[in-house]
Structure 1
Amino acid sequence: MTTRLRAVVHGRVQGVGFRDATARVAERAGVAGQVANLPDGTVEVELEGDEGAVGSVVEYLHHGPPAAAVSSVRVTDLEPRGDTVFRIR
């Protein structure tokens, strides 16, 4: 079943390779979507794909790359759009 969600990751998540690492994890899992730094210091991630694969990427977001310090991840469901690639914005 295809699912899509938006996750906003809080903590020390900018300037630590979070976007690049998330893109690699998502691509390996076969998940489409995008990742972007937001002006408030958080990272926004949209993920679309198989429910299990999306769930595995969300698990990764809770810790991120070694230099990150994630304090929380807020997840909301979205309607699937049919994305087929993962982009870094």
Structure 2
Amino acid sequence: MKRFKAVVSGRVQNVGFRTFASMNAQQCHLTGSVTNLENGDVEVIIQGEQKDIDEFLELTRKGNRFIRVDNIQLKMLPVVEGEKKFTYHW
């Protein structure tokens, strides 16, 4: 089990990125959260097995026709025991 903070930059606000990230996190069996940052980036906290995190990051990098991901900065965080879901933060 691992936990990361991913700061995602590109065209990631006002394009449905938080919903996109939430759906991908659930599909990949991850917990955590997604939050818009004031500078236009989005912070995603993801926790789960490394293979699931890798799949989530691959899906995130691909984006969609509205979302364009230019960069993802990863930082490892301590695992939060007992976390059960992926949530939005405003």
TM normalised by structure 2 equals: 0.91
Question: Aligned partners of 2:9 and 2:33: how far apart in 1?
Answer: 17
The residue aligned with 2:85 is 85
Match of 1:21, SS state, is helix
Distance 2:53 2:32 in 1: 10
SS for the counterpart of 1:16 is coil
Runs of 4+, deviation exceeding 6 Å: none
> 1:14-71: per-residue Cα shift (whole Å, max 9, x none)?
0111000110111111100000100000000000011111111111221323201211
Aligned length: 88
Kindly report the root-mean-square deviation, in angstroms, between the aligned alpha carbons of the 2 structures.
1.0
Give identity over the alignment, percent.
31
Of 39-48 and 77-86, the range deviating more from structure 2: 77-86
Structure 2 residue runs without a partner (length 5+): none
SS of 1:60 mapped into structure 2: helix
